[in-house]
Amino acid sequence: MWKPKEHPRIAEEIARRLQGEILAGRYHAGDKLPPERRLAETLGINRATLREALKQLEHIGLVRSRQGDGTRVLDFLQTAGLDLLRYLFGSVESGLTLLGDVLEFRQIIGREVARLAAARARPDQIERLAAIAARAPEGGEASLQQDLDFYAELGRATGNTVFALLLNSVRATVRSLSGLFADFNPRPELVRQHHQEVLAALRAGDGTAAAGAAERHLQRGKEHLLEKLASGPEVLAPDRGSGHTGPAPTPPKEVL
């Protein structure tokens, strides 16, 4: 059994392992996890550590614990939020689908955020956007970070709290997978050109132009993805890039 002083770290590790089992499909929505005592003994931990791990899973919408009913697996599509997204890139097959989903979502929300920001952005917000656009990043990951920061600031410029929070979540998710997503972002010079186009539209208060610039840029990103995938889906292998922080390897079936 692990030492009590390591409890927080161990709980996090156990949460990742159970999460991997759930997302891999070993446990389905509605299934009950093994009884607490037996599960703790199987994992070689105390029940306090297991409860902390289950609380972490409950927080992200994967399970629900109820006295008298034990811990049941939830349908995460109904209960989880964007925080779970980065853990779903656990295989080439799921990665292909999710990457397309993320880019589609980003294209739709980016277009409408740009349109709204053109009508509402204050001069100080436009200047903050200009400062971000003035960066000259070297390398794909730095350019990706610049683009994420630009859109997060654009979201705040809409004056809509939900847009701002949503884009913050998207940025955090993509940032946690920067080693993966950086390869699918357009070239840095194209990213900077796009930022200048959006800025010009914002300064003119032209929502149509701003939305069009965002649409073209994000469509270009999707097309760039298709070009990459033409060389084979192995480009999305889970172990590629130091920025990938997907689920920990699934433990052997007999462990749980």
Angstrom distance (rounded) from CA 131 to CA 199: 11
**Secondary structure E strands in 150-191:** none
Segment-wise mean pLDDT, segments of 10 residues, the chain, 256 residues: 58 91 89 93 92 93 91 92 74 63 86 96 97 89 90 95 87 74 77 95 97 91 70 51 39 36
Q: What's the pLDDT score for residue 247?
A: 40
d(CA 106, CA 172): 13
Positive or negative CA dihedral for 158, 174, 61, 236?
positive
pLDDT at 93: 54
Crossing angle for the helix pair 92-120 and 140-157, to the nearest 10 degrees = 40
Domains in the chain, please, with CATH?
Answer: 4-79 (1.10.10.10), 83-236 (1.20.120.530)
Residue 238 has what pLDDT? Answer: 45
Distance CA 25, CA 88 (A): 12
Q: Exposed, middle or buried by CB within 10 Å (0-12, 13-18, 19+), for 72?
A: middle
Other CB atoms closer than 10 Å to residue 131's CB: what's the count?
Answer: 11
